[in-house]
Every structure is written in C-alpha cells, then in structure tokens.
Chain A
Amino acid sequence: MKTKAVDLLIIGAGPAGMSAAVEARNNGLSVLVLDEQPGPGGQIYRNISNTDAQRSQILGADYSHGRHLAQAFLASDIEYVAQASAWQVTDQKQVHYLHQGQSRVAQGQRLLIATGAYERPMPIPGWTLPGVMTAGAGQILLKSAAVVPAGPVVLAGCGPLLYLLAVQYLQAGISLAALVDTSRHSDVLSGLRHIPKALKGWPDLQKGLSLLATLRKAKVKHYRGATALRIEGSAHAEALSFSSRGDEYRIACNLVMLHQGVVPNTQISWSLRLQHHWQNDQLCWQAERNAWGETSTSGIFIAGDGGSIGGAMAAQAQGRIAALAIACQLGRLDSSSRDKLVKPYRKALHRCMAARPLIDSLYRPRNENRIPEDNVIVCRCEEVTAGTVRSHVRLGCLGPNQIKAFSRCGMGPCQGRQCGLTVTEIIAASGNVSASEVGYYRIRAPLKPITLKQLAQQPNKNLNQELS
C-alpha cells in the first residue's frame, strides 16, 4: 500500500478541523482529514449529519448551528476518512492510523492537530463505581445513540457543559434528582474582576445565564458550593453525599454524572515532544503556538480546544487562521492577501476569548476535586490511589515518570489520560513546587490500541525504530 500524500493533513473533524479543511481547500490545497468518529462534527456537533428533529430540538440551537459547517465540509472535495484513529504521529508529519482493522499511513506537507478536548478527570471517592460516568458521556449517549437516563439522575461538579446537559435533559423530559454544584461564591467574586474585558464576549455569558435561569424555572434542586462529594456504594453507585452551605446531604441514586470542565487533549502534542506550558488559569497543559497556531516544530499546527479551551466558535476561527497561514507557507497565497483574509477570523477569535478569563475563574474546579485525599483512586486503570502517589513522592520520586515506574500509575491502557493532570498536581502540591517544574508523563506511540498483527501488516517503516 502506498503512503497517501497531501498538502494539508488534518487530525480531527470537529469545528476546528472542518473549518481548516474548508478554508485550505478554498485556497487550492489538497486536504485529507482523519477522524475516529463515524461522522464529522467533533464533540459539540457529534452525529450532526444523522440526527433527527427530536434530538435537534432537545440539543438546541448551538448544536444545529454545526449543520452548515458539516454540510460545507462534506460537499467539498476534501478527502475525509471517518473511523480513522491516529495511533502515531511523527515530526516528519506522517500520521499512522487504524481504519477498518488495518494500519495505514498518510503524509502531509503540513500537519494540523485538531483533536479537541476531553473532560477533566474528577477524582472523588467512589468515582470508579459502575453507575458513575461523565456528563459528556451522558451527552454523547444522547447525541449519538438517542439514549437517556431511565430514572432520576444526579449531575455533579461545575462548568457550562454541566448546566447545558441539565437543560438538555429537561428538554428531553428526564427527571433530575439534583444538580450538585461545586462552584462557589468566592469564585463569582474573583470572576467579577474580569467583567469589563469579558463583556466583549457577552453572548457566551448570556448563554450561561439563560441556562441557569431555565434550571431555576424548572425548579431543579440546585445545591451550590458543594464540598466533600462522595459516591457511596459497593458494587455500583447507590448515593451521592456532600455538604452544601453547612448542611450534610445524601441523595440516593444509581446514576451520577460528573463534570468539572474540559482540558486540551495533548496526547499527540506530547508524543511529538512539542514545547508545552502549564496554564494556571485553566489548570492544564497547553502546547506552545504562535499567532497562526504553529507549534515549536515548524509545519505542525494546532487549532481548537486541543490547543487551549476556547469553545467551538474559537475553534472554527483558529482552524481558518491556521489554514490561511499554511496556504501562504505553501505558496498558494501571498502574505498580504493572507493578512487581509485573516482579519475577520482574528476579530471573531478575540471576541470569543474575551469571556474566557471570567468563565475560567467562575468554574475553576476545587482543589479537593483535583488533588484528592489519600484513599481516592487516581489511576483508574491500575487502581493507584493518591496516597500511593504521595508515598512515592516521600521516597524521593520527583516526577510523573518516576512515579509511573514505581507504582504503575499511568501505565494502563488509557496512558495517563485519566490520571496525568492529577498526578502532576499531587506531586506539585506535595513538594510545594510548580506544576511546570513537575512536568508530565512521557507519552509514546501507540496512542490507540493496536495489535501486533496490525502493526506487522502496516506498509513500510522500521517498526522497532518507530516504537522505541
């Protein structure tokens, strides 16, 4: 099999990847887009091409908004491979991906990583029990399978997505046992500092407020400032207990959905050893990028929530901006046309990002829900607790890779996606050093499960060299 070669190779068909593809194609570039989902849309517009009227109504206008972009994307002659999981990316801009049980290779002159975000882990006691899942998982079940909770559900944590799901469930006629909100008053006060700047991003804030108003009107039991969250149960979830404003509560339930914001999916960018920085406002790692989205390795770009959390509109603007820069680098656009064309996208991006500082500080996840007590499991795969991580720190482990070697924390199939941030923050807090000094796991291919057989059948390449 030959390696497929294109001008621009994109991983991810969410708002960032689709916009970049459309813009690049408009400028005459050959484009190949790989995405592991069955259809385009990414997280926000998941399954947008196949949804029905009932679900569109439940999911709301922001969701339906994605239809135009997905249609434009599918109508152009952009090459798009669905159900293609990138399991290895090289600094030579080669992407190895699994499709229909086989590993294939694609080569771009330029590479755009548009792999979006995933939900920040929320390690609280009992979070590994069956019956506990993320709010995003609940929303994915609704978007992609039209499956909803059968009985009352408890939503717990913080962030706009949690409120959004609550409203979507109300629309679908699902009963909410409670919304247990971990955000607190002091966050609101510290958020106020940012208001003047944030006003420019008013639509986003307005949406947040109207979600809250809808929940109030529907008389959803909304517990604020919740702390000491604990899911009880032995074989599966039976109750959520917590304190709120001085009172103790225990809500019996078999289904709890947790959420405390989203963080960039940095698996690919770490595996490429790109330069990353700890971002204290968003409490996560971000790959370094210039104003065009180009990373510390020239020719490799990142757009969208995979770079920094900005939401779908920011992702679309960033996709366009990166595509214009790439078209210019490849000689399809002179720099003065590029600079003219980019203006509306820069303006849109600026507008989206204006509300971010306020949103980040309003919904800053609590320390106790990021840096848990000793008995809480942090590594779900290898069942390693926060206490075990701390004991290795006391024995002298200075970074996540040493902790991993000694405790197996982060060594399971999820490759640290669920414990990586937690482990960095635990080490930082224990040693009283900054997260940047602590660093992150060394991420290596394969980024997705691949069998030896699939590996052996892959065209060309020295496998030993690849996996070393």
Chain B
Amino acid sequence: MPTESLFTPLAKAQSWVTIDYEGHQLKVPQGVSIAAALLASGVRHSRTTPVQGANRAPFCMMGVCFECLVEVDGVPNRQGCMTLVSDGLRVRRQLGARKLAPLCAEGDCDEN
C-alpha cells in the first residue's frame, strides 16, 4: 500500500477527486490517469505478473507496455495509464492475468 512516494505533484492541484484503491481512499488531482494518480499517491506496484507473481509498476505511461493493468470498477485488465480518474472509481491491483486475459472473456484466445 501507499508508502513513501517516489513522485510528488509539482504544484497544488486545482480540483480533486477521491478514488478507492484496495479499500483505501486516495485523494487525487482531477483529470490525471489512474496510473499517474497511483504513482503520486505512493503506490509502488500495481500488478503482479501471471508467471512468477513478480511486482510490476507502470513503465511507459503511453499505452504500450501494459504494465499498468488494474481492475477498474470490477473490470479486469484496464490500462491504468489510459484511463482517467473519476470520483468514486474503485481500483484494485491486477493479480496475475492468464484467466483474465484482456483480449477475450474466457480461456486463452491467443493464436497458435
């Protein structure tokens, strides 16, 4: 959970919203992405990998790497860097992924 933050806001935000992250209420600036909000709130990792269960955190912030996957309002595998915060949003860590692969609802939809 939120620890000493690696990031800090440059200036005081003008308006705020509150999101729920893993049961914690986080006050975050309006208009920023979920990934930015979590990083600025001291979240060090926001998902674990499907294979080794390793901790991961947002890496590219532009929709390329999928390291920012989180569960948003019950929907798994949303890209936290591409989704903006809004008041009351419920965000959870994405733990593993295989059964929740984003490209299909169930099973393994990969080719080959």
Contact = CB atoms under 8 A, between A and B. Distances in A.
A148 interface: yes
Interface string A150-182: 110000000000000000000010000000000
Contact of A236 (B45, B64, B97): B45
Interface string B1-26: 00011111111010000000000000
Contacts of A85: 63, 82
Given A149-B7, A151-B6, 4 more contacts: A58-B10, A147-B8, A381-B66, A401-B112
A137 B60 contact: yes
B79 A236 contact: no
B101 A413 contact: yes
A28 interface: no
Contact of B10 (A36, A172, A414, A446): A172
- Cβ-closest 3 pairs across A and B: A449-B102, A145-B36, A130-B57
B99 to A, nearest CB: 13
Given A380-B65, A383-B52, A144 B5 contact: no
B60 A446 contact: no
A52 B29 CA distance: 15
A280 interface: no
Contact of B60 (A52, A130, A134, A413): A134
Interface in A411-468: 411-414, 417-418, 442, 444, 446, 448-453
Contact of B64 (A55, A148, A412, A414): A414
B11 A146 contact: yes
A383 B51 contact: yes
B61 A130 contact: no
A128 interface: yes
B75 to A, nearest CB: 8
Contact residues on A (Cβ < 8 Å of other chain), bracket: 35 or more
Contacts of A142: 10
Residue among B4, B81, B104 with the highest chain A CB neighbour number at 10 A: B104
Interface in A290-331: none
B94 to A, nearest CB: 10
A413 B97 contact: yes
A145 B29 contact: yes
Nearest to B83: A83
A366 to B, nearest CB: 21
B103 A235 contact: no
A167 B61 CA distance: 20
Interface in B87-112: 97, 101-105, 110-112
A413 B6 contact: no
A373 interface: no
Interface in B38-84: 39-40, 44-45, 49-52, 54-67, 69, 75, 77-79, 81-82, 84
Given A405-B112, A446-B103, A145 B65 contact: no
A142 B84 CA distance: 16
B50 to A, nearest CB: 8
Contacts of A144: 32-33, 36
